[in-house]
Amino acid sequence: MGGQQRFRPAHRLLTRTARGYAGKLGGRWGMVPQPPESFSTSVQACGLYPFGAGSYRPVDGAPLGEDLITHTAIATDHEALYRAGHITSPSMYLFGINGVGKSSTAQTLILGMVGRGMAPAIFDPIKGEHVAMARALGSDVWEVGDGAGKDRLNLLSPGPLGAAANRIGGVIGEELLTLALKKAVTLTQLCVDVARGAPSSAMENLVIETIVQTAIDRNPRPATRDLVDVFMHPSERMLAKSGHRDAESFWQRFSGENGLGETLRTLVDGEMGVLLGGTDSIEFTPGNPAGFCFDTSSINESNTKLLSAAMLSTWSLGMDAIDAHWELAQHESRLAEEAQQAGEQYEPAVRWGGYTTLMDEFWYPMRACPGMVDHVDKLSRTNRSKGTAELKVTHSTKDAESLPNEEDRTKARGLAERSGVIGLMALARTDLKELSKVRPLTEKEIDLVAGFSADPGWAGGRIEDALVARSDDGKLPPPPGAGKILLKLPERIGIPVQVRQSPTQRRYHVTDKRYRKQAA
């Protein structure tokens, strides 16, 4: 009998009581400590009210940081908010003065979305600060510029759509090739306008279309310089479309000062020639799940024509790459379905996870490149159908107001209005009042954002202090307001967030290299 008791399971020897199991190793508490109770009225202890509705904070997006007021963790982004049905378009417009961490915040948002399977599409116009991160992600990085070793553009390249067409083939492939041709025509027309500094006439646009068509027909791998060759040797189609009987009369009509022939030559041999006139060009292989990054920072800021051409071209290429990725993913998905029906297995080589675009320093392309606002405006109206979340980063509303023409100004204002989320980093009170017209802000919200950059004191102002306060990676202490952002959704109270950068992100995002060198 005694032997049986020794092998009886332990819990059979224990008795369940209100304070736990009584018996050896049961863990029953001898007593429960009694915290003394205090009495108070609701006037004296007005802060102690445990039935308050907790303020919900979104937690299913990019891990951003913590709430500035409640210190709750916040993980959100415009794509996650759109998916959750909180906003009508997956877009964000980020405003903030210099050096408060707009680009870092943008990277945190992008990385969060990339972590969910979206591909990044980064347009880095003047600083080249996202290149390291993009390379680390495995993105296709194109450093577009006029210097040695830089990537050059080919206006006549069928681009990503052509590459996708070759892989897909059939009717869809034909459609894609037609679309690629149309894109090449539009891009050439835009670059002609930029080079000339004035819009082309309807007839000139028609001639450009036929020149592009002829160049593609004559050469299996057409390059920008073929435009001039074709102009010098016009095809029958070109003559017929332009209403000329022979090449002589054609040249007479379209040559001359600032004529089409002269403009095409400047595209190939002029200052723009170093960017557009090369025989090597960017050849996209669409479908990279790590997306792409265009860096135009090597182009001198004073060379607005070159910059405009580079930005228009890269923007066009980027959007084509997104469309091509979608078509390829659809094609691969069809192959997988067909294989399944045939009882076989096929692993799609390209999958679609959506894109997340980042247009950093957006004030710059807006100002330097007439027509860019129009392109972005189109995307902002169709981003949902394109499966693209878009993030634009700029300084303030004044950037839109300072555009040279009224049409661009109106469109730029509309961009902010249509943004699902507006992110407000440290801003001047006047800017906030102005923004309040677009997205109403309460007085408290305005006070909060205007106070982001308030320095609590003068400590650390000396260079010696700054050197001491440097972190391990050599970064100087952050300025006041760094990483503080108010996320403002339509008709909702703003969410103030202190954005946190991960150490890895800090390592890949260096925006003050010269300053660090100086301080070292």
CB of 342 to another protein, least distance (A): 32
> Which three-class secondary structure state does DSSP give residue 351?
coil
Using the 8-state DSSP alphabet, how is residue 280 labeled?
S
Name every residue whose Cβ is closer than 8 Å to that of residue 327 and which is 6 or more positions away in sequence: 161, 164, 168, 172, 176
User: Is 36 among the residues that bind another protein (CB under 8 A)?
Assistant: yes
Burial of 199 (0-12, 13-18, 19+ CB in 10 A): middle
> Which three-class secondary structure state does DSSP give residue 270?
coil
Using the 8-state DSSP alphabet, how is residue 147 labeled?
S
Which residues 65-104 are close enough to bind another protein by CB under 8 A?
66, 70-71
User: Is 257 among the residues that bind another protein (CB under 8 A)?
Assistant: no
User: Is 117 among the residues that bind another protein (CB under 8 A)?
Assistant: no
Candidates 10, 11, 15, 29; binder of another protein (CB under 8 A) is 29
Candidates 11, 16, 19, 221; binder of another protein (CB under 8 A) is 19
Report the C-alpha gap between 60 and 62 in whole angstroms. Answer: 7
Query: x/- binding map, residues 46-65, to another protein, per CB under 8 A?
Result: xxxxx---------x-----
CB of 498 to another protein, least distance (A): 12
Candidates 42, 98, 385, 518; binder of another protein (CB under 8 A) is 42
Report the C-alpha gap between 132 and 109 in whole angstroms. Answer: 16
* Stretch binding another protein (CB under 8 A), from 43-51, 140-148, 185-193, 411-419: 43-51
CB closer to another protein out of 160 and 496: 496
66 DSSP β-pair partners: 73, 498
CB closer to another protein out of 10 and 232: 10
Helix ranges, 197-245 (H) = 202-218, 226-232, 236-242
* Stretch binding another protein (CB under 8 A), from 28-36, 396-404, 433-441, 446-454: 28-36
Per the structure block, which two tokens stand in for 225? 């310089």
CB closer to another protein out of 1 and 31: 31
Which residues 288-347 are close enough to bind another protein by CB under 8 A?
none
CB of 200 to another protein, least distance (A): 52
CB of 30 to another protein, least distance (A): 7
Strand positions, DSSP E, 110-150? 119-124, 140-143
CB of 29 to another protein, least distance (A): 4
Candidates 2, 3, 9, 33; binder of another protein (CB under 8 A) is 33
* Stretch binding another protein (CB under 8 A), from 24-32, 174-182, 303-311, 500-508: 24-32
Per this entry, what is the length of the chain? 520
Helix (H) or strand (E) holding 498: strand 495-499
Give 451-460 contacts, CB < 8 A, sequence gap 24+: 452/100, 452/425, 452/426, 452/427, 452/480, 452/481, 452/484, 453/97, 453/100, 453/426, 453/479, 453/480, 453/481, 454/480, 454/481, 455/480, 456/480
CB of 16 to another protein, least distance (A): 12
Candidates 37, 236, 406, 491; binder of another protein (CB under 8 A) is 37
CB closer to another protein out of 39 and 56: 39
Residues that bind another protein (CB under 8 A): 18-19, 27, 29-50, 60, 66, 70-71
